[in-house]
A and B are shown apart, each in its own frame.
Chain A
Amino acid sequence: MRDYILKRLLMLIPVLLGISLSVFLIMQLVPGDVVSGILGIEQTPELRVMWEKKLGLDQPVHMQYLNWMGNVLRGNFGESFRTGAPVFPEIISRFQITAELAVLASFTALFIALPLGIISALKRNQPIDKGVRVAALMGVSVPSFASATLLILFLSKAFGYFTPVKYVSFLQSPGTNLEIMVLPAFILGASMAGSLMRMTRSSILEVMRQDFIKAVRAKGATERITIFRHALKNGSIPIITLVGMQMGSLLGGTVVIEQIFSIPGLGQYVLTGISQRDYPVVQGGVLFIAFVYVIINLLVDILYTYVDPRIQYT
């Protein structure tokens, strides 16, 4: 097992290099040069040379990449062009907010999808199954920004309720923090639940067809034990994979919801970076998100062995 993890970590290196290289190269495509962006109308040749030297832009492209990577590996993601604040600490503090949202959303999704998916599989082709399948389709198809906007409209019209505008962290005030997070988490969770419900349903259907379920039933196990101890456990690998992938994609995918609910998460940080042409912020943020995504996928693979000890990595 330890060897496997080591091997996987080693295999991450080319992928991470590829990620950093593509982030770097895409940034090279940016039209106009960065220095003009910073200096604006105050541009003089002397100032220009000074800034080019300061940002390392006077060196060849491959050196720029190596310098940047060297700094990144030491946790130095550069400083924001706009605020001058170092990017990395900001990314970490924003990441905590986004991670909280992603975890809450994933729990919401599991809470909705598991029971409904199981019921749907057990009552296959009955009205309740059809209802659940239509609901799942809606979950998959309704974009979160559309449902969020409609929900905000509905809550304000029907109950005169408005979501808090100013973000408060969980440590400052747990109650207010949860009040801020509950709607966005619910909306993200509901849209995640759609595909999760489908996956649970097909996974359980697949397992229930197998011989060992017949054996479990033959030995006289109750329906509850058959489903929860045997079917769900054996059918959970694709479900875990999907939750892992969804959580990973939420890290950057919450950007729209963060924008709507004014949550200062990682997505919003990168988005503001994009609109302000604050390249260190964009570059660092995107790199960090892709990195975490790859790590989550690795963790999911490792988690498999705990759920299903038959899976052995060598």
Chain B
Amino acid sequence: MQAQVKQRALPGNESVLRLIWQEPLGRAGLLGVTLIVILAVLAPLISPFDVAKMHPKAKLAAPSFVYLFGTDHFGRDVFSRIIHGARVSLVVGIVSVSISAGFGYIFGMIAGFFEGKTESVILMIMDVIFAFPSILLALFIVSALGTSIVNTMIAIGIVNIPVFTRTVRASVKSVKSMDYIKNARSVGLKPAVILFKHITPNVLAPFTVQATLALSGAVLTEASMSFLGLGIQPPNPSWGSMLSDARKYMEIAPWLVIFPALFIILTILSFNVLGDALRDVLDPKLKL
């Protein structure tokens, strides 16, 4: 019954948001993501200090009204670095997911629609990418291309292409045999028109869910790479590298560890919760 109600309410974006809002977890995810996005967008306006500004007299200062989250070993304000870090995390996440989603969409469409040899070749390439543990492949690509923010995005982007390809391919296959597509073919529509105009709308739901979940994965991979020193390079602040630098001082300055860790967890958790809620709303069949 519930599923039927939800399915009927599907069309508008507004109702999707409303349905997510109705679930407590969905609401929490939406709030968390909104908070991180606001912090990231408004970072230059709300950060009290410059991210690179050192305050030699206030090295490793504990959290106070001046330095909300304390300062690090150079006397840099942790709060300012964290909200700028949100910016870096989100930009890396969004760009890399766009890379994976874009290529995944194209490959998935082609593989699902044309089948045969084309499909086998595409799937084999995806299997090859899939055979590498994601963090290792990302590190490997970055080590070959050189460490930089752009290369980090490319590396994470490549790693996630197979997930999107598989999602899109599966949806295309399930839609393809439906009558309206057969009709579209029989009236002589070109494959490109069928793909973009008639199949794409049906692929969008799983695609959006996948993108939200992939975003949390991308943020996690970036943080892990930066933690290992092979992701975002200084002076750009990154939560991963902040956490890694802080380990040396964590006995005397635990706030250096606690705040970046909390923000990484909050971001990934929010995107995962939102992704789950989105899946429940867009694809009620999967809700158990």
Digitize B88-129: 1 where CB-to-A-CB distance is under 8 Å, 0 elsewhere: 000000000000000000000000000000000000110111
Of A1-9, A80-88, A214-222, A288-296, the one touching chain B: A288-296
Taking a contact as CB atoms under 8 Å apart, the answer to whether A150 and B261 are in contact is: yes
Q: Which 3 A-B pairs have the closest CB atoms?
A: A252-B133, A252-B136, A18-B128
Chain B: CB-nearest residue to A27: B144
Cβ contacts under 8 Å, B131 to chain A? 15, 19, 290, 293-294
Taking a contact as CB atoms under 8 Å apart, the answer to whether B125 and A18 are in contact is: yes
Q: How far is the CA of A260 from the CA of B261 in the complex (A)?
A: 15
Extra contacts, 10 of them, besides A22-B128, A153-B258, A201-B288 (Cβ < 8 A), are A137-B273, A138-B269, A143-B223, A143-B264, A145-B223, A146-B223, A149-B261, A252-B132, A252-B133, A274-B230
Would you call A171 an interface residue if the criterion is a C-beta within 8 Å of the partner chain's C-beta atoms?
no
Considering only residues 131-172 of chain A, those with a C-beta below 8 Å from chain B are 137-138, 140-143, 145-146, 149-150, 152-153, 156-157
| With known contacts A141-B265, A149-B247, A26–B223 Cβ distance under 8 A | no
Taking a contact as CB atoms under 8 Å apart, the answer to whether A271 and B139 are in contact is: yes
| With known contacts A29-B145, A138-B269, A141-B265, A286–B135 Cβ distance under 8 A | no
Cβ contacts under 8 Å, A286 to chain B? 132, 136-137, 140
Chain A: CB-nearest residue to B243: A149
| With known contacts A289-B132, A289-B133, A141–B269 Cβ distance under 8 A | yes
Would you call B146 an interface residue if the criterion is a C-beta within 8 Å of the partner chain's C-beta atoms?
yes
Chain A nearest CB: distance from B89 CB in Å?
12
Q: How large is the interface on A (under 10, 10 to 19, 20 to 34, 35 or more residues)?
A: 35 or more
Would you call B204 an interface residue if the criterion is a C-beta within 8 Å of the partner chain's C-beta atoms?
no
Would you call B31 an interface residue if the criterion is a C-beta within 8 Å of the partner chain's C-beta atoms?
no
Taking a contact as CB atoms under 8 Å apart, the answer to whether B257 and A150 are in contact is: yes
Taking a contact as CB atoms under 8 Å apart, the answer to whether B288 and A202 are in contact is: yes
**Best-buried of B132, B227, B250 by chain A (most CB within 10 Å):** B132
Chain A contact residues, majority secondary structure: helix
Cβ contacts under 8 Å, B240 to chain A? 145
| Among B133, B224, B257, contact of A143 (Cβ-Cβ < 8 Å) | B224
Cβ contacts under 8 Å, B247 to chain A? 149, 260
Chain A nearest CB: distance from B124 CB in Å?
6
Taking a contact as CB atoms under 8 Å apart, the answer to whether B133 and A153 are in contact is: no
Q: How far is the CA of A26 from the CA of B20 in the complex (A)?
A: 42
| Among A15, A30, A248, A252, contact of B128 (Cβ-Cβ < 8 Å) | A15
Q: How far is the CA of A220 from the CA of B134 in the complex (A)?
A: 48
Considering only residues 222-267 of chain B, those with a C-beta below 8 Å from chain A are 223-224, 227-230, 240, 243, 246-247, 250-251, 254, 257-258, 260-261, 264-265
Q: How far is the CA of A304 from the CA of B140 in the complex (A)?
A: 33
Cβ contacts under 8 Å, A146 to chain B? 223, 243, 260-261, 264-265
| With known contacts A137-B273, A256-B224, A274–B133 Cβ distance under 8 A | no
Considering only residues 240-282 of chain A, those with a C-beta below 8 Å from chain B are 248-253, 255-256, 259-260, 267, 270-271, 274-275, 277, 282
Taking a contact as CB atoms under 8 Å apart, the answer to whether B143 and A282 are in contact is: yes
Would you call B220 an interface residue if the criterion is a C-beta within 8 Å of the partner chain's C-beta atoms?
yes
Cβ contacts under 8 Å, A267 to chain B? 136
Q: How far is the CA of A23 from the CA of B139 in the complex (A)?
A: 12
Would you call A60 an interface residue if the criterion is a C-beta within 8 Å of the partner chain's C-beta atoms?
no
Chain A nearest CB: distance from B151 CB in Å?
10
Chain B nearest CB: distance from A20 CB in Å?
10
Residues of B at under 8 Å CB distance from A? 124-125, 127-129, 131-137, 139-141, 143-146, 216, 220, 223-224, 227-230, 240, 243, 246-247, 250-251, 254, 257-258, 260-261, 264-265, 268-269, 272-273, 276, 288
Taking a contact as CB atoms under 8 Å apart, the answer to whether A140 and B272 are in contact is: yes
Taking a contact as CB atoms under 8 Å apart, the answer to whether B144 and A253 are in contact is: no
Q: How far is the CA of A198 from the CA of B59 in the complex (A)?
A: 44
Q: How far is the CA of A259 from the CA of B230 in the complex (A)?
A: 13
Would you call A308 an interface residue if the criterion is a C-beta within 8 Å of the partner chain's C-beta atoms?
no
Taking a contact as CB atoms under 8 Å apart, the answer to whether B143 and A274 are in contact is: yes
Q: How far is the CA of A270 from the CA of B269 in the complex (A)?
A: 29
Cβ contacts under 8 Å, B134 to chain A? 249, 253
Taking a contact as CB atoms under 8 Å apart, the answer to whether A141 and B268 are in contact is: yes
26 A-B contacts (beta carbon < 8 Å)? A19-B128, A30-B144, A31-B146, A137-B272, A137-B273, A142-B268, A142-B269, A143-B264, A145-B223, A149-B243, A149-B250, A153-B257, A157-B254, A249-B134, A252-B133, A255-B139, A267-B136, A271-B228, A274-B139, A286-B136, A286-B137, A286-B140, A289-B132, A289-B136, A290-B131, A290-B132
Taking a contact as CB atoms under 8 Å apart, the answer to whether B228 and A293 are in contact is: no
Chain B nearest CB: distance from A65 CB in Å?
15
**Best-buried of B124, B127, B141 by chain A (most CB within 10 Å):** B127
Q: How far is the CA of A145 from the CA of B128 in the complex (A)?
A: 27
Q: How far is the CA of A152 from the CA of B257 in the complex (A)?
A: 11
Chain B nearest CB: distance from A155 CB in Å?
12
Chain A: CB-nearest residue to B140: A286
Would you call A14 an interface residue if the criterion is a C-beta within 8 Å of the partner chain's C-beta atoms?
yes
Would you call A52 an interface residue if the criterion is a C-beta within 8 Å of the partner chain's C-beta atoms?
no
